[in-house]
């Protein structure tokens, strides 16, 4: 409908409030969202057909079903359809037998997850240590080991941690046992995304359901940076309290598993393990050891990942 003002046709000014993409709410009562001026005589105005269409935003992700057949889901914040849990069609699983040099860590994680899958008390896990030593592979191996017993996984990256309370609330209504997996965590001093993880683990209003276990991997023991000269702590009247606040995130994980760098013996053991898995010749042994050590020196790291990469190169040249 047009309004004539001094002979000029003008459309009524829209008074629609922007829709929150996460909650689906305009932030105001629907009764005051209208097109054009209110009708005479009082009473709530009847929205126009266009207004009614605008007042039907997509359902927030909490009202969408979690796929029942998907073993691994990924939390997606962006993209068409808004925030959602999306199935991973080709999950990268691993075999626990391929983990070399981390027998103690493997045994502890297996015991803890077995308790969790059986419905007994278990601790949230933090796997921290040197890069390439098997932290992520261990988590994927646990899923492969227990998937037939109902274990499933949701992968949440660092940017999605602010939504973690909402994700956990959704999983509470779904059957099965879930690991919420946060890979390669590490926060800078001014980041606040870790607060969602912190509140879910302990201390927040959203209780962690008994069918959800949080597992995180990181190269940092305490997940947050610890500069040698901490100016923030120096400015504090009580610097010990500032340090405690920084370390409190890692303290909320009940089970810590450390992954130190490989020594030479463990590294070479991993090299020959992978060569055997790939079906490559294991002789001449002295030549293989020499090449493998040179490969590690060029990478600046002796680790299971480096051993795997060298073994693939060697197998490709000798098979």
256-300 residue pLDDT tens: 999 999 999 999 999 999 999 999 999 999 999 999 999 999 999
* Total tally of structural domains belonging to the chain: 3
pLDDT of the residue at 3: 47
Domain-located, residue 210: yes
Q: Are 85 and 264 in contact (CB under 8 A)?
A: no
Is the predicted pLDDT of residue 196 greater than 60, yes or no?
Answer: yes
Q: Are residues 255 and 274 in the same domain?
A: no
Q: What is the DSSP string of 276-298?
A: HHTT----SHHHHHHHHHHHHHH
Model pLDDT for residues 207-265, shown as the tens digit of each residue: 788 999 999 999 877 665 555 555 444 555 545 555 555 567 778 899 999 999 999 99
The sign of the dihedral angle between the CA atoms of 274, 279, 280, 284 is positive
Q: Are residues 120 and 211 in the same domain?
A: yes
Domain-located, residue 138: yes
Range of the structural domain that residue 142 is part of: 72-259
Q: Measure CA 31 to chain center.
A: 39
Q: Are 180 and 154 in contact (CB under 8 A)?
A: yes
Model pLDDT for residues 35-67, shown as the tens digit of each residue: 445 445 555 455 454 444 334 333 344 445 666
Is the predicted pLDDT of residue 17 greater than 50, yes or no?
Answer: no
pLDDT of the residue at 174: 80
pLDDT of the residue at 81: 62
Pairwise CA distance, residues 49 & 53, whole Å: 6
Q: Are residues 9 and 85 in the same domain?
A: no
The pTM is what? 0.72
pLDDT of the residue at 169: 84
Q: Are residues 237 and 141 in the same domain?
A: yes
Pairwise CA distance, residues 149 & 198, whole Å: 29
Pairwise CA distance, residues 181 & 213, whole Å: 9
Domain end (from 227, 259, 291): 259
pLDDT of the residue at 61: 46
């Amino acid at each position: 409908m047009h309004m004539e003002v001094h002979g000029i046709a003008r459309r009524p000014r829209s008074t629609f409030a922007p829709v929150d993409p996460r909650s689906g709410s305009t932030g105001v009562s629907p009764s005051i969202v209208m097109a054009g001026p209110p009708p005479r005589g009082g009473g709530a105005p009847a929205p126009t057909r266009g207004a009614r269409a605008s007042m039907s935003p997509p359902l927030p992700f909490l009202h969408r079903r979690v796929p029942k057949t998907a073993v691994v889901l990924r939390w997606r914040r962006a993209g068409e359809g808004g925030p959602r849990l999306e199935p991973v069609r080709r999950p990268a699983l691993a075999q626990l037998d391929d983990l070399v040099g981390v027998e103690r860590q493997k045994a502890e994680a297996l015991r803890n997850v077995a308790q969790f899958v059986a419905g007994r008390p278990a601790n949230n896990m933090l796997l921290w240590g040197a890069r390439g030593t098997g932290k992520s592979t261990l988590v994927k191996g646990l899923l492969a080991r227990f998937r037939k017993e109902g274990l499933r996984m949701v992968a949440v990256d660092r940017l999605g941690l602010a939504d973690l309370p909402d994700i956990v609330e959704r999983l509470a209504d779904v059957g099965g046992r879930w690991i919420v997996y946060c890979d390669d965590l590490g926060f800078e001093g001014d980041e606040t995304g870790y607060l969602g993880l912190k509140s879910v683990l302990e201390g927040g209003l959203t209780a962690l359901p008994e069918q959800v276990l949080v597992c995180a991997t990181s190269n940092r023991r305490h997940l947050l940076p610890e500069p040698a000269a901490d100016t923030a702590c120096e400015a504090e009247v009580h610097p010990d309290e500032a340090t405690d606040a920084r370390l409190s995130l890692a303290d909320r994980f009940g089970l810590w598993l450390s992954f130190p760098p490989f020594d030479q013996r463990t590294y070479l053991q991993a090299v020959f393990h992978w060569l055997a898995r790939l079906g490559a010749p294991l002789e001449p042994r002295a030549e293989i050891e020499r090449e493998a050590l040179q490969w590690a020196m060029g990478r600046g790291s002796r680790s299971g990942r480096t051993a795997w990469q060298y073994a693939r190169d060697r197998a490709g040249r000798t098979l």
